[in-house]
Amino acid sequence: MGRRRRTVRSAASRVFAVLIGVVLLAGVLTAVLLALDAQRSAQAEAERETRSVSETLAATPGVRSALQSSAREATAALQPFSLQVTRNTGVDFITIMTASGIRVTHPDPAQIGKHYIGSIPAVPVTVTEQYTGTLGPSIRTIAPVTADGRVVGWVATGVTVQSIGGALLPACRSRSASLSQ
Structural domains counted in the chain:
1
SS3 129: strand
CATH of the domain at 41: 3.30.450.20
Distance (Å, whole) CA 109 – CA 115: 13
Residue 179 has pLDDT above 60, yes or no: no
Mean pLDDT computed over 38-42:
75
Which pLDDT does position 150 carry in this prediction?
93
pTM: 0.72
Q: How far apart are CA 129 and CA 123, in angstroms?
A: 16
Which residue range is the domain that position 122 belongs to?
A: 1-181
pLDDT digits (tens, 9 = 90+) for 122-174: 889 999 988 787 777 888 999 999 999 899 999 999 988 877 766 555 544 44
